[in-house]
Amino acid sequence: MPSPIYKRVLLKLSGEALMGTRDYGLDNATVRAIAEDIKGVVDLGVEVCVVVGGGNIFRGVAGASSGMERAQADSMGMLATVMNALAMQSALERTGVPTRVQSAIPMSSVCEPFIRRRAERHMEKGRVVIFAAGSGNPFFTTDTAAALRAAEMRCDALFKGTQVDGVYSADPRKNPNAERYTTLTYLDMLARDLAVMDAAAISLARENKLPIIVFNIHEQGAFTAVMQGEGRFTTVV
């Protein structure tokens, strides 16, 4: 079995990734399949932490466009990510992987608050740490929170699980001529405005020399394969 390329990684899962073919909320079979793939990576001896999004439940921008105050709506979005984090925790523990959820918005009867050094200790002990509530601040996204946590946790790479197997010149589900890139620079991503991650997240990754690996989260085993340098993915450096 090829050895893993990285020792410590952060996996960013969007809310959409947990939705499967549904148009709202969580699809248990999808969440279980992702948990199995994370277990595959943990079994390789890689330290894994996860940032989950909340777009399958609530997005601040959508709340604001229907008349809510943006900061209030973003708090709701962050609470949505906590629900997803708990669902992912439950699925991971069913596969036998020990986990902890840490929330950027403290809610002590549900999960731990975010404490970087404690998170680090959990990871050293082989626990998967799931970071919930994004950065804890409105006007940010969970992509930016993922780049932030990956930098704080001194991860070797940020894995972004998407609906397709890398970064394309156009949406390959709509344009059959879309070209898939194997490697891109951060500046390419910013200049071409490729809608994979927001600019704040890419800039933060760039400043911290954090490679971003974009792969298909719905292809069973892809996270484990990519961790061993196999399969299809795009590396942003």
215 is in an annotated binding site: no
| Residue 139 is labelled as binding a ligand | yes
Hey, which residues between 77 and 96 contact ligand UDP (CB under 6 A)?
A: 77-78, 80-81
Residue 114 engages ligand UDP in binding (rule: CB under 6 A) = no
Number of shown-chain residues binding ligand UDP (CB under 6 A): 23
Nearest by Cα to 152 from 200, 77, 89, 205: 205
C-alpha count within 13 angstroms, C-beta hemisphere, residue 81: 33
Residue 161 is a binding residue for ligand UDP (CB under 6 A): no
Q: For tokens 């949406």, what's the residue?
A: 171
Interacting span for ligand UDP (CB under 6 A) from 70-78, 155-163, 178-186, 212-220: 70-78
**Cβ proximity to ligand UDP, 54 vs 211, nearer residue:** 54
Dihedral of CA 164/170/175/180: which sign?
Answer: negative
Handedness of CA 27, 33, 34, 36 (dihedral sign): positive
- Strand-pair category, 157-162 with 8-13: parallel
Rounded Cα gap, residues 52 and 59, in angstroms: 13
**One of 89, 99, 102, 141 touching ligand UDP (CB under 6 A):** 141
Is residue 158 annotated as involved in ligand binding?
Answer: no
Binding region for UMP: 54, 74, 135-142
User: Which residues are near ligand UDP by CB under 6 A?
Assistant: 14-16, 53-55, 59-61, 74, 77-78, 80-81, 134-135, 137-138, 140-143, 145
